Amino acid sequence: MALIVQKFGGTSVGDIERIRNVARRVVETKTAGNRVVVCVSAMSGETNKLVELANQAGGDEPDPREYDTLVSTGEQKTIALLAMAIQQLGHGARSFTGAQMGMLTDTDHTRARILSIDTSSLEAVLAKDEVCVIAGFQGVDDQGNITTLGRGGSDTSAVAVACALGADVCEIYTDVDGVYTTDPRLVPGARKLPRISFEEMLELASLGAKVLQIRSVKFAMRYGLPLHVRSSFGSDVGTWVVPEEDVMERLVVSGVTYNVDEAKIRLKGVADQPGIAARLFTPLGEAGIVVDMILQNFASDGTTDMTFTVPKGDYRKALEIAKKVGSEMAAEQVEGDENIAKVSVVGLGMKDHAGVATKMFNVLAEEGINIQMITTSEIKISVVIAEKYAELAIRGLHAAFVEDGASEPTTE
Ligand code: ASP
Ligand code: MG
């Protein structure tokens, strides 16, 4: 008898009819001979509404403990409704809040980390052949304070519980039917990937393919737990996210992604001497700003240029810090640009396939797109370009790497 954890996102439980639909699916899975734990998000739009209320009552930075107490209620509503709907179909079901399911976290409100999960109460209910309906996104600290795991955190709840229970699979039901080679809204030729490795999924998730919260993929990778991303509105097989050794086709490029949520800052003409990078990036780090790409030019005349990217939400603050540090270091100029896009190609097959970068640069050159920054990792190449060319770049790269069959599996 398999143990299956199913996670349903906000749109999948958006109204009562959809909740009934989820209940039917859960019951189907159970009557097929499986034990089922189902993890749900708040009904779509609910968390945003709660955040708005928090801001109305508590200002721009509401007290984090009270914020968590409030925003976690969205999931509490859904678990009770779904448990009732499953009971209506004649099956036993029981809801669990974070505290009730033993989801112990630290006290870092609004972005708490999971410390441990005591699965005994879940297991007792499963042993009675009933369905466990658990609240995503929330946990409890050792003092009994309600915590939340950050926006999109239900994915992480589901995967963490699946790992703790030693489940056979965690199915992520969502409003898309799998992981695509690129954004299908931009590129009609985008296709669904049958299988993808955790590593590739991590790169895709962090590059802006918003299918799964990154932390959930990290969890699954650490425990080797297969994920199945699929649509809650049909019964098609979606995309399996699995260990690298279980990926049969090592595509040279499995995904082309873009991210327009970053901004670029450049310090021109800073002294080329030890300690400069430390002086710049220390205050940024202290301000909680996560720097993504960093580029330092080859020095000439004893000075160099330093360029880096930060999330758009931190741009103003980062620019202010860079200007302050820049003037202390007698930089010639400090300038910023919010209108950039980071475009990346990702694929396991790059590990044993040369020439991907060259081809990428050629495609961009043919489209007349200027590259401002480049970074690479073992399975990814990213470039920063002007935001207005993002779509053009994605279409060109997808055509060259995916549609033209250039991404044929490497044999190895
Ligand atoms: N309801 C939470 C959010 O909207 C958690 C989730 O849906 O994953 O961010
Ligand atoms: Mg989500």
How does residue 410 score in pLDDT terms, banded at 50, 70 and 90? very low
Say how many Å lie between the CA of residue 169 and the centre of ligand 1.
21
3-state secondary structure of 147: strand
Task: Write the pLDDT tens digit of every residue in 45-102.
Answer: 999 999 999 999 999 999 999 999 999 999 999 999 999 999 999 999 999 999 999 9
Residues facing 259 on adjacent strands: 342
Q: What's the CATH class of domain 3-175? A: alpha beta
Is 364 exposed, middle or buried, given 0-12, 13-18 or 19+ CB atoms closer than 10 A? buried
- Which among 249, 239, 212, 241 is positioned nearest to 225, based on CA atoms? 241
Q: How far is Cα of residue 261 from the mean position of the Cα atoms in its chain?
A: 14
Which ligand 1 atom sits closest to the C-alpha of 213?
8
Q: What is the mean pLDDT of residues 200-209?
A: 78
pLDDT at residue 45 in the model: 97
pTM of the full structure = 0.88
Least confident span in 104-108, 245-249, 357-361: 245-249
| Residue with token string 């990078």 | 277
Q: What is the DSSP letter of 411?
A: P
Looking at the CA of 136, which ligand is closest?
1
Higher-confidence residue: 354 or 137? 137
Tell me whether domains 3-175 and 246-412 share a fold: no
Task: Give me the sheet containing 262-271, strands edge to edge.
Answer: 294-296, 303-311, 262-271, 333-337
pLDDT at residue 233 in the model: 86
Which stretches of 82-137 are assigned E, i.e. beta strand?
93-96, 103-105, 114-117, 131-135
| Closest protein CA for atom 6 of ligand 1 | 152
Cβ atoms within 10 A of the Cβ of 115, count? 12
Which ligand 1 atom sits closest to the C-alpha of 48?
4
Say how many Å lie between the CA of residue 287 and the centre of ligand 1.
26
Say how many Å lie between the CA of residue 112 and the centre of ligand 1.
14
Residue 218 to residue 223: CA distance in whole angstroms: 9
Residue 342 to residue 339: CA distance in whole angstroms: 10
Higher-confidence residue: 395 or 211? 395
Residue 383 to residue 376: CA distance in whole angstroms: 9
- The answer to whether the CB of 92 falls within 8 A of the CB of 130 is yes
Residue 153 to residue 123: CA distance in whole angstroms: 23
Ligand 1 cavity residues, CB under 6 Å = 9-10, 41-42, 47, 74, 136-137, 151-155
Looking at the CA of 152, which ligand is closest?
1
| Closest protein CA for atom 9 of ligand 1 | 151
Looking at the CA of 50, which ligand is closest?
1
Say how many Å lie between the CA of residue 42 and the centre of ligand 1.
6
Residues 6+ apart with CB under 8 A from 72: 97, 98, 135, 137, 138, 146, 148
pLDDT at residue 298 in the model: 83
Taking the domain 246-412, which CATH number applies?
A: 3.30.2130.10
**Does residue 186 have a pLDDT over 80?**
yes
Task: Write the pLDDT tens digit of every residue in 304-318.
Answer: 999 999 999 999 999
How does residue 408 score in pLDDT terms, banded at 50, 70 and 90? low
| Closest protein CA for atom 5 of ligand 1 | 152
Say how many Å lie between the CA of residue 10 and the centre of ligand 2.
8
Q: Would you list the domain boundaries of the chain?
A: 3-175, 246-412
pLDDT at residue 407 in the model: 53
Which ligand 1 atom sits closest to the C-alpha of 42?
1
For 367, phi then psi, to 5°, come to -85, 0
| Closest protein CA for atom 4 of ligand 1 | 47
pLDDT at residue 411 in the model: 43
Cβ atoms within 10 A of the Cβ of 300, count? 9
Residues 6+ apart with CB under 8 A from 140: 98, 99, 103, 104, 105, 146, 147
Residue 305 to residue 266: CA distance in whole angstroms: 7
pLDDT at residue 402 in the model: 93
pLDDT at residue 273 in the model: 85
Looking at the CA of 213, which ligand is closest?
2
**Does residue 282 have a pLDDT over 70?**
yes
Residues 6+ apart with CB under 8 A from 405: none
Which ligand 1 atom sits closest to the C-alpha of 155?
8
How does residue 412 score in pLDDT terms, banded at 50, 70 and 90? very low
Residue 74 to residue 45: CA distance in whole angstroms: 10
Task: Write the pLDDT tens digit of every residue in 236-281.
Answer: 999 999 999 888 778 899 999 999 999 999 999 998 888 889 999 9
Q: What stretches of 166-248 show up as alpha helix (H) in DSSP?
A: 198-206, 214-223
Residue 202 to residue 240: CA distance in whole angstroms: 13
C-alpha triplet 238, 27, 74: angle, nearest 5°:
80
Residue 68 to residue 63: CA distance in whole angstroms: 9
Say how many Å lie between the CA of residue 362 and the centre of ligand 2.
35
Say how many Å lie between the CA of residue 398 and the centre of ligand 1.
31
pLDDT at residue 406 in the model: 53
